Amino acid sequence: MRLKIIGGNLAVVVLLGVAAYLVVSGQLRTELLERVDAKIGSDRTLFERSFRLSALEFVDLVTTRAADRQMRDVFAGLDVKSRRTRAYEAAETTAGWIADPARGVRGGPDIVVIVDETGKALARNGARNVMYGQALLGQIPALAKAFETGQPVHDVWLEGQENETLQTAIAPIRAETGAILGALIVGYDLSNGVAQREGDVLGRDIAFLVEGKVYSSSLDGAGARDLKAYLFGPEANTTNGVLGGQAAASRMWRATLDGADYSGITAPLPMTPSHPVAFVVLGNRSAQVAALSVVDFILLLTVLGAVLVVLYGFIMGNAIMRPIEAIEEGVLAVINGRTDLRLETESAELGGLAFRINQLLNVFTGTAEDNTDSTGRISVPPSSNDWKGAAFSDSVDTGARGGGTAANPDEPIADPALAQRLASEEQGAYEKRVFDEYVAAKQAAGENVSNIPQDRFIQRLSGRASALAQKHGCRMVRFQVETSGGQVNLRPVLIR
């Protein structure tokens, strides 16, 4: 029986816990993964807008610097040497000026070049003689557009000497008359750091693609290699279509990168018309699924609940089964000949059953039921129907101890002062006091008071007072406890 109770409760707790875990984890998993996939398209749009805004701010910064007097002074040199020196100093100053944190979080540029009106380099920062005289019009198609339109432009520069893909801003340098003297070129490598910074803004991973390779990404080395293998392997046609300008964006795709499940989308990098460069926005589906670990708390609570059910089941099972087993053994002992044995139990729930079995045994064995207490006095269980107080009897009590006839308990006490004092006493306090005095007097007389319930006493006291008040035609009747010849009585006091 004990194991059935425990097993049933345990099964309920475990089934509900496991069902709750499966339902919650399943729904949460589906919702989290759908959220990642659904946001990839909007994240691509957000990145495009973020990159455009960043590019425009970059171009504006370079344009501001190109309008500085130091730039014009480069072309005021009297000879080639003077112009080269001034150009190098201007490039170095520009690199430091742009790197000032007050102008953004980009940091120092990777390259600053000043060219003349023919597109030949006069100097670059970091190395006075590197790139001097190098014609850049062929390398940077956007430079020709800047000279042609006189407007600053943004593009990418596939810088061959250091094999870098540079995000480039170009701004014409003008004389005070407005004539174009040359141009200022500033470039930042589309490095892993740039991808990481842009990815942090979106809360996604970012990668930059050039022809045939992943140029940089916010992924680690293994993830970047797996991304290249997928984009230029199974997804090569779509990737090349995006790089070649045949597609505005790829469909959403999924791939396993460094053991993690990703969804992604590929699109052309905006404001880079000269060379095919694309970007990839990646959503880490595995990282989202990892958030489901919080649901494991349901399993933990289920295990804890199961342990508590087992412990509580054993405690309650023992509390129920031990008295039952004791009763069973007692009945068996009676059957085997111990007819004098009676059942005893401390269980409140099974005490009534043991009492009835004892009564049945008394009937079968012809034994008179014992109704005495531990001191030998006759003891009747307290009950409103069992208690009959002699003090409330209408007849004269002739059973006073020691023989003789006691005074009629209905004879009123003629004491005006006592009547006045009793009349002034609050009803509740009066009733409790009379009950306490009555019980104390009974105990002093050696009587058993365990069968005198207070509520029944007060009820009869009130009824008796009403009857006597009507009989004597007074306003009220209250009682005084008196003991006469070992007999405790309640004498009425008339209050008019």
Residue-wise pLDDT tens digits, 233-267: 999 999 999 999 888 899 999 999 999 999 999 99
CA–CA separation, 460 and 468 (whole Å): 12
Three-state secondary-structure class, residue 17: helix
Please say which residue of 287, 307, 327 terminates a domain.
307
On whether both 111 and 228 belong to a single domain, the answer is: yes
**Which residue segment(s) compose the domain that 453 sits in?**
390-495
Residue ranges with strand state E in 62-204: 111-116, 121-124, 153-159, 164-174, 180-189
On whether both 140 and 48 belong to a single domain, the answer is: yes
| Category of 178 on φ-ψ map: left (φ > 0), alpha (ψ -120 to 50) or beta | left
CA–CA separation, 493 and 496 (whole Å): 10
63 found inside a domain: yes
Which CATH number characterizes residue 56's domain? 3.30.450.20
Three-state secondary-structure class, residue 77: coil
48: which 2 tokens?
């495009």
27 found inside a domain: no
Q: What is the tally of structural domains in the chain?
A: 2
Checking if the pLDDT of 335 tops 50, the result is yes
CA–CA separation, 97 and 65 (whole Å): 9
| C-alpha closest to that of 120 among 168, 161, 84, 163 | 84
CA–CA separation, 141 and 145 (whole Å): 7
21 found inside a domain: no
More confident residue, 354 or 266: 266
More confident residue, 410 or 380: 410
On whether both 400 and 266 belong to a single domain, the answer is: no
Name the band, by pLDDT with cuts 50, 70 and 90, for residue 148: very high
Please say which residue of 252, 282, 307 terminates a domain.
307
H or E, element range at 479: strand 476-484
CA–CA separation, 244 and 275 (whole Å): 9
Distances in whole angstroms, Cα of residue 418 to Cα of each of 10, 151, 433, 492, 494:
70, 119, 15, 11, 10
Checking if the pLDDT of 384 tops 60, the result is no
185: which 2 tokens?
């070129």
